[in-house]
Amino acid sequence: MRNFYLAACTAVLFTFTSCGSDSESGGGITPEPPSEVVVKPNFTPIQVTRHEGKPFSTGVTSRDGKNIVGPGGPVMMQAFYWDVPQGGTWWNVLSEKIPSWAGSGITSMWLPPVTKGQSGGYSMGYDPYDYFDFGQYTQQGTTETRFGNESELVNLISTAHSKSMLVFADMVLNHNSGGASEYDPNIQDYYWTDFTGVKSGKFPRTYLDFYTNQGTDRDEGYFGEGRGMPDLRHTREHVQNWLWKSPESVAKYYKNTLKFDGWRFDYVKGFGTWVIREWNKSVGGFSVGENWDGNPSELENWANSAESAVFDFSLYYKMDQAFDEQNLMKLTEDVYWKRNPYKAVTFVTNHDTDDIWNKHYAYAYILTHEGYPTIFYRDYEEWLDKNKLNTLIKIHNERATGNTTILYADKDEYIARRNGYNGNPGLVVYLNTSEQTQEKWVETNWASAAIKDHTSHAAAWNPTTRADKWVKIKCPPKSYTVWSTP
């Protein structure tokens, strides 16, 4: 797909050359210009998107009416991981994190499914049983959910809103679990589809509300072969009313009573895109779907049809190849955000998959490039250098503006420029996976301007751009730098 972008390229062909020692530039000394034209084979600088360059927007302001989107757009925290501690403490743990997260520039948080699952206090929420039990009913062997109770959940959301952070609910609309066995006369067999005993008394379900075989009337997808986790039949009016249509529906209760600001939809391959469209038309809010597919065309088609953002799995797999297999040319290839950055939610890892090992490059990439970057809880709180992540978040919020031009790429090096927007200067990001310090001449956004590396990885290198905006920048071995005006 790289040829598509080369054909669409509108940028002038830029030139590059490696330069000499550190003594040629630094301390504010203007570097010498390139002495010759050197163009890497099979690479042409790419203007990867044709759009205005405005920041990603969730379409939602904070509850106090403030605009939470800075120049670079929002940053999301995935506020859980698989098998977080049991015992009903997680909502309180997150409440305590919110002030520091908000202070670091994180503007939204994605919570795990908040309702009672089949496995009660052990459940991570992806086996939904009672959509209206948030830890207040004793059923499935517990009262609280794994994460806490309803009052603690409401307090968490309220605390987030007090810091102008949005909160997104993880919605599992495909499959249910924990129902009693009942006889289905249509197939003359017993299935686990009797949910009339849910203690909330809301959204009772029977075999009529599920697909219990692979018949021709199925909506989309199939999960668990109908046993244990039957799929909801979204074409049923009863199901639609309880999920989003009626005033007492799941969607309206989450939005109007619990005060959620948006939605992460689980396993969207299991049902039609029209379900997401209708849900969003009914209650609004930001939405993003988990369409687990590395094909950017599939992601594009789904996002357009669902009228929703989508996680950019195509970028996830390209970053794995680029950083773990050490081939940064993969970053020049087609991914979904290059097609529509306004519907692309980018990420490095999540609760389901953790394939990228060289994560510091990946976070440097998603926090300087277009899309809606997502930080994984354990990466931020446990596994990586929080100070470096906070620096990247600050760079994103203040400098990651405008559309993107990929300036240079080879196996070990990758340089891209954010072209700035609405008076914001933009930036140049340099990734270097080699064992040596690398230097390159690049064309920037700035004429006759002192610039610096905002990561401080190349703190001793303080060049000034020429009048034609060219400058020599550098990157230490196995590191990254981000250049902009002071």
pLDDT digits (tens, 9 = 90+) for 208-249: 999 865 444 444 444 444 445 889 999 999 999 999 999 999
pLDDT at 60: 87
* 51 has pLDDT over 80: yes
- When the pLDDT of each residue in the chain is averaged and rounded to a whole number, the result is 89
Could you tell me which residues come within 8 angstroms of residue 125 by beta carbon, excluding any fewer than 6 positions away?
112, 113, 114, 115, 117, 145, 146, 147, 170, 172
Each residue's pLDDT tens digit, 126-143? 999 999 999 999 999 999
Q: What are the φ and ψ backbone dihedral angles of 483, each rounded to 5 degrees?
A: -105, 140
Q: Catalytic: 381?
A: no
pLDDT at 43: 59
pLDDT at 44: 73
**Residues forming a β-bridge with 93:** none
Asked if 17 contacts 456 with a C-beta cutoff of 8 angstroms, the reply is: no
The three-state secondary structure class of 430 is strand
* 300 has pLDDT over 50: yes
pLDDT at 188: 85
- Alpha-carbon gap, residue 371 to 396, rounded angstroms: 11
The three-state secondary structure class of 295 is coil
Alpha-helical runs (H) found in 270-416:
273-283, 296-306, 313-319, 336-339, 359-366, 377-378, 386-399
- Alpha-carbon gap, residue 211 to 219, rounded angstroms: 9
Each residue's pLDDT tens digit, 8-44? 333 333 333 333 333 333 333 334 555 543 434 455 7
pLDDT at 437: 97
Each residue's pLDDT tens digit, 399-431? 999 999 999 999 999 999 999 999 999 999 999
Each residue's pLDDT tens digit, 74-130? 999 999 999 999 999 999 999 999 999 999 999 999 999 999 999 999 999 999 999
- Alpha-carbon gap, residue 284 to 370, rounded angstroms: 24
CA-based nearest residue to 264, from 353, 167, 169, 132:
169
* 50 has pLDDT over 90: no
Tokens 């098998």 locate to 83
Give the DSSP H/E element, type plus range, for residue 443.
strand 438-443
Token pair recorded at residue 266:
């689980």
- Alpha-carbon gap, residue 319 to 373, rounded angstroms: 14
Asked if 144 contacts 121 with a C-beta cutoff of 8 angstroms, the reply is: yes
Annotation: CATH topology of 76-399: TIM Barrel (3.20.20)
pLDDT at 20: 34
pLDDT at 34: 58
Give just the sign of the alpha carbon dihedral 96, 99, 102, 108. positive
- Give exposure, 11-38, as e/b (b: 16+ Cβ within 10 Å): beebbbeebeeeeebbeeeebeebeeee
pLDDT at 189: 86
The three-state secondary structure class of 480 is strand
Q: What are the φ and ψ backbone dihedral angles of 146, each rounded to 5 degrees?
A: -55, -30
**Residues forming a β-bridge with 473:** 440
pLDDT at 378: 98
Tokens 């998107």 locate to 49
CATH architecture of 2-52+404-484: Sandwich (2.60)
Whether 291 has a binding-site annotation, put simply, is no
- Alpha-carbon gap, residue 455 to 106, rounded angstroms: 18
Each residue's pLDDT tens digit, 193-219? 999 999 999 999 999 999 865 444 444
- Going by pLDDT thresholds of 50, 70 and 90, the confidence category of residue 308 is very high
* 269 has pLDDT over 50: yes
The domain limits of the chain are: 2-52+404-484, 76-399
Extended beta strands in 324-437, E state:
344-347, 372-376, 404-409, 413-418, 427-432
Asked if 176 contacts 206 with a C-beta cutoff of 8 angstroms, the reply is: no
- Going by pLDDT thresholds of 50, 70 and 90, the confidence category of residue 63 is low
Q: Which of 144, 150, 209, 290 is catalytic?
A: 290
Q: Catalytic: 266?
A: yes
* 150 has pLDDT over 60: yes
What is the value of pTM for the model shown?
A: 0.90
Q: Which of 133, 150, 266, 439 is catalytic?
A: 266
* 162 has pLDDT over 90: yes
Asked if 52 contacts 14 with a C-beta cutoff of 8 angstroms, the reply is: no
Extended beta strands in 33-174, E state:
46-47, 76-78, 108-110, 116-117, 128-130, 166-171
pLDDT at 186: 79
